[in-house]
Structure 1
Amino acid sequence: MASPCPRSLPELVGVSGEIATAQIEKENPNVNAIVKLKVTSVTEDFNCNRVWIWVDTHRAVTNVPRVG
């Protein structure tokens, strides 16, 4: 089954979390991009208005950001 809000942003891997957040929220003002350190726990509910931005200790994006 396809996701109700399929959107991934592979081009943001490696950029700073702050730049990724700004770009995501500029492209879609209805989405809240949240930067989290890779080892942080988060809620696992599905939300089309949220994007987790996983970063390393250097604040670089480590995983492909996905809406949901």
Structure 2
Amino acid sequence: MAPYPPCWSGACEDPECCARGKKCRWPELVGKSGEIAKMTIERENQNVLAIVLRARDGRIDNFCCNRVFVGIDTNGNVLITPQIG
């Protein structure tokens, strides 16, 4: 199985467009557990898959409407605002 879902973006190139009326950014999760953040994101927007990664892990550079990277520190806490992309 691939580590990431197939990318879907359509004509969208920004989180607001992709969200289609649902939430696209989660600033309130900064400092929270990465796993809690993943569950929260996927509950609040069922169209995305949240992927928890350590800050030093590589990321895919393409923009996808169905993906949210959740960057965590060495303690497993969210470092920056997760958003669709």
Q: Could you tell me the TM-score, scaled by structure 1's length?
A: 0.91
C-alpha distance in 1 between matches for 2:69 and 2:41? 11
Unpaired segments of 5 or more residues in structure 2?
1-12
C-alpha distance in 2 between matches for 1:23 and 1:9? 9
Q: Quote the residue 1:46 is aligned against.
A: 63
**Could you say which structure has the greater relative contact order, defined with CA pairs below 8 angstroms and 6 or more residues apart?**
1
User: What is the CA RMSD across the aligned residues, in angstroms?
Assistant: 1.3
Aligned-pair identity (%): 45
- Residue 5 of structure 1 aligns to which amino acid in structure 2? C
C-alpha distance in 2 between matches for 1:11 and 1:5? 20
Unpaired segments of 5 or more residues in structure 1?
none
Q: Quote the residue 1:5 is aligned against.
A: 18
Q: Quote the residue 2:32 is aligned against.
A: 15
- Residue 25 of structure 2 aligns to which amino acid in structure 1? S
Q: Name the count of aligned residue pairs.
A: 67
How far did 1:30 drift? 1.5
Q: Rg: which structure is higher? A: 2
- Residue 56 of structure 1 aligns to which amino acid in structure 2? D
